């Protein structure tokens, strides 16, 4: 390879290396601000008894999510608990899911987060997150353990899926 070819190859690798390093230095908590999030009327939230809503537990162990398939019903409130059982920081990235649910409150490692419009949760080793939400839009939403902002770049694909089932009439 000529001198120019080596320089061009090296300069093309810098953005990729910086992107990977940026993912390693992210703060703990919620990240990936989303410009538009779903919302629920504050009056309706007052009537939710959070002690009686369904709880969904997701456990991360050895970089695997369990369960891999989570089901919710449209219009219902939930408490989503994500536990990181590994000895390293893990990410629960689900931009489209968090855009389509109304997050009421998010707590990561015992600290309440300042905002509720985010796309990923960064979990420190051996810590958990609790997210109070209302499932608003039915659909199929993938989640993964990745901080890379560009989908499919350096990704092995989704680690699991959340299915919000359409609300059906009883008649």
Please check the confidence at residue 5 and state whether its pLDDT lies above 90.
Answer: no
Q: What confidence tens digit (pLDDT) does each residue in 12-55 have?
A: 554 554 444 444 444 566 666 566 788 888 888 899 999 999 99
- Structure-token pair, residue 141: 């939403």
- Structure-token pair, residue 86: 């590994």
**161: pLDDT confidence band, cut at 50, 70 and 90?**
very high
Gyration radius of the chain's alpha carbons: 18
Q: What confidence tens digit (pLDDT) does each residue in 100-153 have?
A: 999 999 999 999 988 888 889 999 999 999 999 999 999 999 999 876 655 555
- pLDDT computed for residue 167 by the predictor: 85
Q: Rounded distance, CA 164 to CA 63, Å? A: 24
- Spell out the domains of the chain, with CATH numbers in brackets: 27-165 (2.60.40.420)
Please check the confidence at residue 57 and state whether its pLDDT lies above 80.
Answer: yes
Please check the confidence at residue 171 and state whether its pLDDT lies above 90.
Answer: no
Q: Rounded distance, CA 107 to CA 36, Å? A: 20
What pTM was estimated for this model as a whole?
Answer: 0.76
Residues with Cβ within 8 Å of residue 126, at least 6 apart in sequence: 84, 85, 86, 87
């Amino acid at each position: 390879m000529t001198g120019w070819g080596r320089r061009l190859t090296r300069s093309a690798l810098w953005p990729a290396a910086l992107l990977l390093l940026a993912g390693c230095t992210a703060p703990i908590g919620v990240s990936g601000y989303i410009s538009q999030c779903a919302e629920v009327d504050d009056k309706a939230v007052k009537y939710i008894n959070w002690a009686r809503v369904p709880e969904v537990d997701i456990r991360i162990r050895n970089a695997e999510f369990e369960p891999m398939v989570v089901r919710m019903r449209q219009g219902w409130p939930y408490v989503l608990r994500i536990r990181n059982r590994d000895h390293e920081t893990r990410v629960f990235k689900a931009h489209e899911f968090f855009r389509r649910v109304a997050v009421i409150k998010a707590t990561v490692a015992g600290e309440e987060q300042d905002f509720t419009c985010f796309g990923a949760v960064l979990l420190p080793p051996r810590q958990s997150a609790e997210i109070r939400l209302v499932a608003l839009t039915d659909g199929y939403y993938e989640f993964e353990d990745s901080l890379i902002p560009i989908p499919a770049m350096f990704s092995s694909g989704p680690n699991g899926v959340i299915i919000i089932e359409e609300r059906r009439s009883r008649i």
